[in-house]
Copies of this chain bind each other. A is one copy, B any other.
Amino acid sequence: MRIGQLAQLVGVETQTIRFYEQQGLLPPPDRQDNGYRVYTKKHGEGLAFIRRCRILGLSLAEIHELQSYQDDPHQPCTAVNTLLDDHISHVRSQITALQALEKQLVSLRASCNDDREVEACGVLAGISEGNMHQQ
């Protein structure tokens, strides 16, 4: 199959496929005489794997790491599990940070009602005065 078909199959843009190839996440496919890329079912599976990893928020580097484990299937899977654990704790700390941020923003917002002049805006004053908690 050609690049357009693969793209449609997996739900990606063709440029994204070339990008993954360039980044070393997808093996370079064979080429037709005219230079067109020819993909196999394997490529489809590899691409789908990448996409599902991306949906899970894994970085391309992490995906690359996972692929290296897949290439060596008789090692213990500890590293895989650890990678996921690390990623989970990363996501959790993001959540925590965002929740703290939300709290700060909400209290800032509460310091102003509408129908003031910018000069007297509680929000702008709150930012300018800088009585913000660190982190």
Q: Which residues of A contact B (CB under 8 A)?
A: 45, 48-49, 52-53, 55-57, 66, 69-70, 72-78, 80-81, 84-85, 87-88, 91-92, 94-95, 98-99, 101-102, 104-106, 108-109, 112, 114-121, 123-124, 127-128, 130, 132
Report B-chain residues with C-beta under 8 Å of the C-beta of A115: 76, 78
List the B residue with the shortest CB-CB distance to A115.
B76
B66 adjacent to A119 (CB under 8 Å): no
A54 to chain B, nearest CB (A): 11
List the B residue with the shortest CB-CB distance to A95.
B98
How many copies altogether? 2
| Residue in contact with A102 in the complex, picked from B74, B76, B91, B99, CB distance below 8 Å | B91
